[in-house]
């Protein structure tokens, strides 16, 4: 009981510190453009810091209809669009965590739910996660938001059988 209480206090202190460090007022927004495998703009992302995590708004076009996996990848580099956006690396994560909301050792820190794309190729979604902060997106490696060709089944490794990487947006830039 004592331990639990102490942990809660420490977490509270951590949150307060994060709040101050990231300057909650003016600069708590990140914007990015999504690009497709031809390097053409195919959507917009906005990420806003909140008191408990981050709120992500995605609007996309030119994608195939249906569900598509969405994740934060660990490196802010979408420059190799002709080569499947490999430079963006794997999902943002910490040691020992596997992919997927339905995996016992999951999810990855960068996991998000699927986005639905309409018949005309457009789709919008808002997501919230408390696994990542704005400052972690903008750290030394940066981060990229990735949309995959197919649905994330939330349990396959390492990316839920969601297929190719089809839209990428650089949030924090890598050095
Ligand atoms: Cu991914």
Closest CA to 103 of 163, 148, 156, 162: 156
* Ligand 1 center from residue 12 Cα (angstroms): 31
27-55, pLDDT tens digit by residue?
689 999 999 999 999 999 999 999 999 99
Report residues near ion ligand 1: CB below 5 Å.
71, 146, 159
* Ligand 1 center from residue 26 Cα (angstroms): 30
Mean pLDDT of 6-11: 45
Distance CA 80, CA 71 (A): 18
* Ligand 1 center from residue 112 Cα (angstroms): 9
Closest CA to 145 of 82, 59, 72, 41: 72
What pTM was computed for the model?
Answer: 0.83
* Ligand 1 center from residue 107 Cα (angstroms): 12
CATH architecture of 24-170: Sandwich (2.60)
The larger pLDDT score, comparing residue 5 to residue 175, is at 175
User: Do residues 102 and 111 make contact, with C-beta atoms less than 8 angstroms apart?
Assistant: no
């Amino acid at each position: 009981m004592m331990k639990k209480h102490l942990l809660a206090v420490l977490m509270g202190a951590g949150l307060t510190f994060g709040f101050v460090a990231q300057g909650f007022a003016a600069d708590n927004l990140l914007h990015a453009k999504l690009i497709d495998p031809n390097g053409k703009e195919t959507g917009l992302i906005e990420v806003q810091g909140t008191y408990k995590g981050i709120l992500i708004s995605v609007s996309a076009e030119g994608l195939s209809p249906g569900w598509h996996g969405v994740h934060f990848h660990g490196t802010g580099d979408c420059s190799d669009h002709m080569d499947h956006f490999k430079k963006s690396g794997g999902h943002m994560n910490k040691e020992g965590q596997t992919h997927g909301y339905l995996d016992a050792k999951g999810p990855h820190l960068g996991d998000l739910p699927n986005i639905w794309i309409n018949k005309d190729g457009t789709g919008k979604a808002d997501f919230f996660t408390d696994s990542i902060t704005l400052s972690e997106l903008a750290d030394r490696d940066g981060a990229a938001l990735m949309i995959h060709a197919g649905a994330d089944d939330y349990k396959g490794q390492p990316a839920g059988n969601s297929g190719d990487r089809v839209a990428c947006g650089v949030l924090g830039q890598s050095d």
